[in-house]
A and B are shown apart, each in its own frame.
Chain A
Amino acid sequence: MNDKTMNEKMPLIQVKNLYKKFDQKDVLKNISVDINEGDVVCVIGPSGSGKSTFLRCLNRLEEPTGGHILFDGADICDPKTDIDLHRQKMGMVFQQFNLFPHMTILKNLTVAPMSLQKKSQEEAEGYAMQLLERVGLQNRAADYPSQLSGGQQQRIAIVRALCMKPEVMLFDEPTSALDPEMVGEVLNVMRDLAAQKMTMVVVTHEMGFAREVASRVMFLDDGDFLEENAPQEFFENPQNERLRSFLSKVL
């Protein structure tokens, strides 16, 4: 970590004029955002505003139509950049968990570190068990995903991403597919992560979580960030008219 001093000055992720078009529809309209190390950025906005597309452009699961995304100083939109290498440093958690159903929980957690980071089995499993313990699921290591509840599966999905020791975690509505009584357990894990200074970008409808945990909240509407602020200001003193009407509907 000898480039730590440099990182502190430079944002971890710099989004410059990000533009994304699906067919004839402009979904992201020249967005520019900086995400600093340790930031917990919550992205909120109406359905179809482009939140998922924005998040998925950050690790290029969605190919940007234009603009640049600098991560660790490298332009990940450059075709010459090895995106697979950068994705190892960007954990992603999906709405639908997407655990691998043909692998045990432990295998889900170790398959990537072992084959991509050349970790030994003991090392990968040791670290996985350590993280499992932190989310309270160490006794489920030998089970298959289908044997777990939605909330448990999503906690495992978070741990799976963490096992790669990522520099940033991307969440796309991680609690939206969950029964209400399981939302809390997943948010708790994310809260825990934030407390440990993990850099996080979270697309969410959980306003309470955003208010409590975020360092910044951003409002995406119709492909553009219309407002961003610290949570207290954001929720108590919204400036933008569209944000005000959005908040009045969801709060």
Chain B
Amino acid sequence: MWKSFEDAFYLNFIEDDRWKYLTNGLGVTLKITFFAVLIGILLGFTVAIVRNTYQNTGKLKVANAICSLYLTIIRGTPVVVQLMIVYFVIFGSVRIDKSITAILAFGINSGAYQAEIFRSGIQSIPRGQFEAGRSLGFSYHQTMLKIIMPQAIKNVIPTLCNEFITLLKETSVAGYIALEDLTKGGDIIRSRTYSAFMPLIAVALIYLVMVVILEKVVRLIERRLKQNER
């Protein structure tokens, strides 16, 4: 029993340095997730501001319409399809690094969800805060910048961290454009060794450990944020 486990372990991970598929894949997964979240933050934040400004002041009508369309499309279609469209259609005729394609696709996707996170964060700030800012003489924009945003962002940090965790798992479909992320790495080992159990369980475990650790970190951050102020 133990012997066969040892053999299987050797075959799947040690022989031909196959473990490198996992570590390299993990690197790719983390890289895509990290930069996609960054793009998502930029996009989501911008969209939230546009939609909120339109709602409060009636300005930015065209931009608001574009943002609504963006949200409808992104949230109404599967991320895999979006990924393939970006890779095969939009960048179909240009040679561009696959991981950049993936970062863009997942970033655009994440932005739509983060927009809602930011927007509800802004709306969770009591109206009195806005009125207090305006009554001191701050303009609409100054009030948003100095009074509303800092509180809203603080409120959404834990939710944004959760979005990172979600995205970390979602990027596992990157193999659809033959990008060698963690999942694909495990799959490559499987196709070399013809054994599914070891590589796939290893992949699952790596995701699981990362998610559990990240969730701990989120809870820590949450507690820290609650500690000061409020």
CB distance from A81 to the nearest CB of B (A): 13
Decide: A115 and B230 in contact? CB cutoff 8 A: no
CA distance A101 to B126 in the complex (A): 11
Q: A85-B137, A161-B136 are in contact. Are A98 and B230 (CB under 8 A)?
A: no
A204 on the interface (CB 8 Å rule)?
no
Q: Inside 8 A of B132's CB, which chain A residues have their CB?
A: 92, 94, 98-100
A235 sits at the interface (CB 8 A): no
How far apart are the CA atoms of A96 and B129 in the complex, in Å?
10
- Check A101 against B131 for contact (C-beta < 8 Å): no
Task: Tell me whether A59 and B135 are in contact in the complex, defined as CB-CB below 8 angstroms, given that A98-B129, A115-B146 are known contacts.
Answer: yes
Docked pose: A58 CA to B139 CA in angstroms = 17
**B128 within 8 Å of A by Cβ?**
yes
> Bound complex: CA of A98 vs CA of B154, how far in Å?
18
A100 adjacent to B137 (CB under 8 Å): no
- Complex contacts, B31 vs chain A, CB 8 Å: none
Interface residues of B, CB < 8 Å — how many? 21
In the complex, which residues 85-106 of chain A have their Cβ closer than 8 Å to any Cβ of chain B? 85, 87-88, 90-92, 94, 96, 98-102
Indicate if the CB atoms of A112 and B230 lie closer than 8 Å: no
Asked if A207 is at the interface (CB within 8 A of a chain B CB), the reply is: no
Which of A61, A102, A145, A164 is within 8 Å of B154, CB to CB? A102
B residues adjacent to A (C-beta < 8 A)? 126, 128-129, 131-139, 142, 146-147, 150-151, 154, 228-230
13 contacts between A and B (CB under 8 A): A85-B137, A90-B135, A94-B131, A98-B131, A99-B132, A101-B151, A115-B146, A116-B137, A144-B228, A144-B230, A160-B136, A164-B136, A164-B137
Q: Which residues of A contact B (CB under 8 A)?
A: 59, 61, 84-85, 87-88, 90-92, 94, 96, 98-102, 111-112, 115-116, 144-146, 160-161, 164
